[in-house]
Amino acid sequence: MEIEARNSRALHIGFVSTRFQGLDGVSLETTKWISLLERFHHRCYWFAGELDTDPERSLLVPEAYFRHPAILALERDLFGNSTRSREVTDTLHRMKEYLKNRLYEFVERFGLDLLVAENALAIPVHLPLGMALTELIAETGIPTIGHHHDFYWERPRFLLNSVKDILDMAFPPDLPSIRHVVINSRAQRDLAGHRSISSQLIYNVIDFEREEGRLDDFNREFRADLGFAAEDLLILQPTRVVSRKGIEQAIYLAEMLGLPGVKLLISHSHADEGVEYLEWIKESARRQEVPLYLIQNRLHDSRRFTSGGKKLYSLWDVYPHMDLITYPSLYEGFGNAFLEAVYFRKPLLVNRYEVYITDIEPKGFDVIAIDGFLTPRAVQEVRQVLQDADRRRAMVEKNYELARKHFSFQSLRRGLNILLTGFFGASTALSLSQDTTATGG
């Protein structure tokens, strides 16, 4: 199949992953890329195993979901073992062929000029999809951006495996028509070191000109709707419930602050990685007598009403009501929650995870920082910030301006322009003269 060039400036761009739904980092960052690309008249489409996107521009393939029963069974067979059976290999290839056929269908149905693989060629949670993508790209030469959020060598559970041949082939593949994008400098160095593959660094960003996130008639009563008093001190942990998020540090903070009305809210689900850590967190909060609220059932990626008339809020409806954001992660690919807290001008407790140290901290942000564990000094700093309005105002305004400078849509536009003009020439660039809205930065 030959990919036909278009004479117009508008490209048809297909985004591929296992899931584009909900509040996970990959889905959220993909939404930002699509938002910016469509401002400049490019047209975007979605392929995944779970979707909450426009059906007219989507191809839903349930077998592409990383929690599909067949994929979970493969993961149990292939990781934690050093060999695999011939039958498992045959299953891998049968699933790969099926998914490759569906990917060809995706390319042909929407006349795609460009593919963007969102983590599907980086983290091997769906081996057949990565294999299928790699073969389609090799067979067609379709221009492709591999947008890599985290690699398999960064996750201990993937290190013992029986698929080194596949990982070397497809996670990520080294093919002439692929341009690789990473979200932090460590990943850029590691990709070069592990695979001798060069990459472009494009940080995660936030749209500083978006109108959402303000108080309005829909979200103004969020506190009362969820049963919180106006005087309660609300701390938000805006992450999934997985052990690398270090949520126990947020519980310790809530206990040690010693301030009235402290409530700890967790915004995201535990569904991706099981219930054991969730149960441990709930028990820890109970022992520490910290009121803990899991609010994921009241959140959606966009605000709406349920069939029963109950409001479902977006995460952007939640932030304005919070007094403090905790982000004590042990590991992050970048740090979307960090940028969100800064955008909403909220004080922030951060654990100095590696990417924060190398790519964010040098910009000069003013946060309460810890090194793996909560200290009395950090607790006192948080208490001071919460009680001193002038100190709090100076902190959040400085952080807002720094993030606006370094992590806005303007920086994303520059990165995408390098990629698009490299593939298709200057006619596809995201030119400011074509933009009908402000891009921030």
Averages of pLDDT over runs of 10 residues in the chain (441 residues) are 48 97 85 94 96 95 96 95 96 98 98 98 97 98 97 93 97 98 96 96 90 83 96 96 93 96 91 81 95 93 88 94 96 90 96 95 97 96 97 97 94 95 92 52 39
Domain 12-205+408-434 class in CATH: alpha beta
Who contacts 300 (Cβ-Cβ below 8 Å, separation ≥6)?
A: 312, 313, 314
- Residue in the block written with tokens 């002038």: 390
Torsion over CA: 65, 244, 400, 256 (sign): positive
Q: How many CB atoms lie within 10 A of CB 299?
A: 18
Q: Which contacts qualify for 377-386: CB closer than 8 Å, 24 or more apart? A: 378/253, 378/349, 379/253, 379/256, 379/257, 382/253, 382/257, 382/324, 382/347, 382/349, 383/257, 383/258, 383/259, 385/324, 385/347, 386/233, 386/257, 386/259, 386/323, 386/324, 386/347
Q: What's the pLDDT at 208? A: 87
- Per CATH, 12-205+408-434 and 222-406 having the same topology is answered yes
Q: What's the pLDDT at 8? A: 47
Q: What's the pLDDT at 211? A: 60
Identify whether the C-beta of residue 424 lies closer than 8 Å to the C-beta of residue 113: yes
Instruction: Record the pTM.
Output: 0.86
Identify whether the C-beta of residue 30 lies closer than 8 Å to the C-beta of residue 20: yes
Identify whether the C-beta of residue 201 lies closer than 8 Å to the C-beta of residue 434: no
Domain 222-406, CATH among 3.40.50.620, 3.30.1330.10, 3.50.50.60, 3.40.50.2000:
3.40.50.2000
Q: What's the pLDDT at 421? A: 95
Render pLDDT for 215-272 as a digit per residue (tens, 0 to 9). Answer: 899 999 999 999 999 999 999 999 989 998 999 999 999 999 999 999 999 998 876 6
Q: Where are the domains of the chain?
A: 12-205+408-434, 222-406
Q: What's the pLDDT at 432? A: 60
Helices (H), 178-332: 185-195, 222-225, 247-257, 276-288, 315-318
* Distance, CA of 56 to CA of 53 (rounded, Å): 9
